[in-house]
Amino acid sequence: MFTEDEIKQKVHDGYMVESVEEMTEGYRKSLIVQLTVQADTELISAPAYWRAARHAPSTNTQVSAHAIIQDELAHANIAYRLLEDLGVSKEELVYGRDPHKFKHPYGFDQPLDNWAELVVANGFFDRAGITLLSDVYANTSYGPLKRALVKVDMEETFHLRHGEVWMRRLAKHGGEARAMLQRAVDWMFPMTLEWFGLPDEMKRHSGQLDYKLKGLTNDQLRQVWMKSTVPLCESLGLEAPAHWSEESQSYELDYPFPCHYDAEAKHWDFDGGEIPWEQVFDRWKARGPMNEWYVESVRRSRNEVVGWLENAPAA
Amino acid sequence: MSILEGEVFDVFARKERGDALQHIGYVDAPDIDLARVYAWKTYDELNWFEMCVVPRSAIVPVNRTDGPFAGNALGRPVVGGAR
């Protein structure tokens, strides 16, 4: 059995952890938090995309939109199974928790109200997913998670392509198609940036870095995301509130970060100036407008069917 | 686990003729028939040449005393050495 200091040193020397028996309490706890965020995000993206898929404009787009939903649910299942192997109950996580206790990002508690918003979600949110998970894949010290991510990365790349191809199509068309796309970008670009969390200068110690459950910091991950997303927006003639700075050799934001968000109006209050992160945490904690609806929609018929099965006479 | 999910099945597959059969994942299912369907639908990222499911309870470790299969050794002695 390792001490906390020993396991931190070993994983940075390349040791792969393969079983729960090898973990220290600190390692196990950090891994559980990481996997719960991952599993909840995959799970809740499904009802968010499912509600939006009603806006798919053709049978072909219905197929691709639903194929993405199928992938997300499979990814959620895989992450919850990894949690079960750490001694956490999937049953309790999915069906027993208050919807407010789910750990998916605030961005996935928002309604996606038209086809443009769904494709921008694929282009932006799934890009954030790939950014976070490729870093985990490249750096994690937990063998079972690294193996599980091979499939996940392959499929998230398809979601991203779907988003980008459709963004390109709407942008090229101009007129109302482009206007709807720009409106989606306006609220979803800052939403995704906020998702990466506290800036490094304010971030207290990260267990996930100490245990090598990931490799990059929040600010580094935000830069990776912008490195793909800002040029994408520029190439499509879309306005995005960030630019490359030669001086700092990084992407810089053109608005106060963080700032107030009006979920009802889907509007970021850039004019209201920078707000303290405590206010952002309060907004996240209160969850977004669709939180309960999304959680309930993955639970809806469970108890009814379990009731049929449990009351059935044994065959 | 609930009546809807039953037990864990491990999923093995090979992509092409000549490839090794590899562990690619797992599904929770109430029986082997649903496990076969769930595995095929969950792990559809590649067009597999062969896929199989095995109840996790049937996987017996030979040289290790930890990990997800450890409980299946049922007190059998360790053969060989673990690294």
Q: Per-residue pLDDT tens for A23-35?
A: 999 999 999 999 9
Chains A, B: CB contacts within 8 A come to 51
How far does the CA of residue A16 sit from the closest CA of chain B (Å)? 12
Contact A19 B67 (CB under 8 A): yes
Alpha carbon distance A27, B12 (integer Å): 29
Give A205's pLDDT tier (boundaries 50, 70, 90).
confident
What percent of chain A has pLDDT above 90? 91
| Residue from A113, A159, A160, A134 nearest A38 by CA | A134
Provide, as residue numbers in chain B, all residues whose Cβ is less than 8 Å from the Cβ of A148. Answer: 25
Residue A212 CA to residue A27 CA, distance in Å, equals: 9
The closest of B52, B55, B48 to B28, measured between CA atoms, is B55
- Is the distance from CB of A227 to CB of A251 less than 8 angstroms? yes
Per-residue model confidence as pLDDT tens digits over A156-165: 899 999 999 9
User: Can you give the pLDDT at residue A314?
Assistant: 66
ipTM comes to 0.90
Q: What does R_g of chain B's alpha carbons equal in angstroms?
A: 14
Range(s) of the domain holding residue A210 = 4-311
Residue B1 has what pLDDT? 67
pLDDT at A276: 97
Number of helices and strands in chain A (H, E): 13, 4
Average pLDDT over residues A110-131: 97
Any B CB within 8 A of A81 CB: yes
Residue B50: pLDDT band with limits 50, 70, 90: very high
Instruction: State the pLDDT at residue A315.
Output: 61
Average pLDDT in the A72-95 region? 95
Tell me the per-residue pLDDT of A11-65, one tens digit each, with 9 for 90 and over.
999 999 999 999 999 999 999 999 999 999 999 999 999 999 999 999 999 999 9
pLDDT at position A303 over 90: no
pLDDT band at B52 (very low <50, low <70, confident <90, very high): very high
Report whether pLDDT(B3) > 90.
no
The number of residues making up chain B comes to 83
pLDDT at B4: 86
Probe site for chain B from A10, A15, A19, A92 (most B CB atoms < 10 A): A19
Which pLDDT does position B82 carry in this prediction? 74
Q: Which domains are present in chain B? A: 7-59 (3.10.20.520)
Contact B67, B83 (CB under 8 A): no
Q: Domain with A280 in it: what CATH number?
A: 1.20.1260.10
Are A261 and A193 contacting, i.e. CB atoms less than 8 angstroms apart?
no
- Whether residues A81 and B26 touch (CB distance < 8 A) is answered with yes
Instruction: Give chain A's domain count.
Output: 1
- Core vs surface per residue A252-282: b (16+ CB within 10 A) or e: ebebebbbbbebeebebeeeeeebebeebee
- Three-state SS at A57: coil
The residues, any chain, with a CB within 8 Å of residue A314's CB and separated by 6 or more, are none
Tell me the torsion sign for CA atoms B45, A161, A60, A118.
positive
Evaluate if residue A274 carries a pLDDT over 80.
Answer: yes
Pick the residue of B42, B72, B83 with the most A CBs within 10 A to test the interface with A by mutation: B42
Mean residue pLDDT of chain A comes to 96
pLDDT score for A262:
98
- Residue A135 — pLDDT band, cuts 50, 70, 90? very high
